[in-house]
Copies of this chain bind each other. A is one copy, B any other.
């Protein structure tokens, strides 16, 4: 007979809770938490292992998807799962999965670097667009939000299982600048993005929402570009800008 977890003190519950709330815990174990059937489906489709699943109520569709999973399956009282879950209304399912591993391409050719992007929604949305436009890899600077934090994971809708996401320190960025042309998206200065040559090996850099690119980035040789906007809005947010530049690169490369 199955046991239902009902106490917040239960060690398994404490474990998943700490993975949701503490970056340190995630990186010590190299695992993170996904919520909901859609992400479970994506993990399975991309052959990412699932270490454990906590569920309160799953649809028949969800059960069918998870039936192939041989991992530890724990039933949790619905109120408790809602309490543990990061979303306001838990979707009745939490998965613990290892950080996905990818073989890096031999030659970098189409990358993006997120420089101190703090907003989890923006980070996740960019990951989603990156997969859509066939980016090879996403890099991010140490001052960025943790890509495995629950809000990023939720808004990325499974992108974590499809694209390598790597932290890049100054040394790594220098390497990137040697193998690809760095383009920095600016609000005011630079060439129109459609005049930039995106057919060569490139890394597009998106700066922080509030302050633009950091000093580390500014000191490394790069080309500045902007998205020309004939209208009167000050600028688009980081996710919208990244989305447009990925599209523009894909457009040029489709020729």
Which chain A residues have a beta carbon within 8 Å of chain B's beta carbons? 125, 128-135, 159, 162, 192, 194, 227-233, 235-236, 240, 243-244, 247-248, 250-251, 253-254
Contact = CB atoms under 8 A, between A and B. Distances in A.
Given A134-B229, A162-B232, A230-B253, 5 more contacts: A132-B233, A133-B229, A194-B254, A244-B247, A248-B251
B254 A230 contact: yes
Contact of A229 (B132, B194, B227, B236): B132
Given A129-B236, A240-B125, A244-B244, A135 B250 contact: no
A76 to B, nearest CB: 26
Given A192-B254, A240-B129, A247 B227 contact: yes
A128 B233 contact: yes
B243 A159 contact: no
A248 B248 CA distance: 9
A162 B233 contact: yes
Given A194-B251, A228-B250, A228-B254, A243 B233 contact: no
B132 A231 contact: yes
Nearest to A45: B232
Contacts of A228: 250-251, 254
Name which of A129, A130, A131 has the most chain B CB atoms within 10 A of its CB: A129
Contact of A131 (B128, B159, B233): B233
A231 B134 contact: yes
Contacts of A132: 229, 231-233, 235-236
A89 B130 CA distance: 32
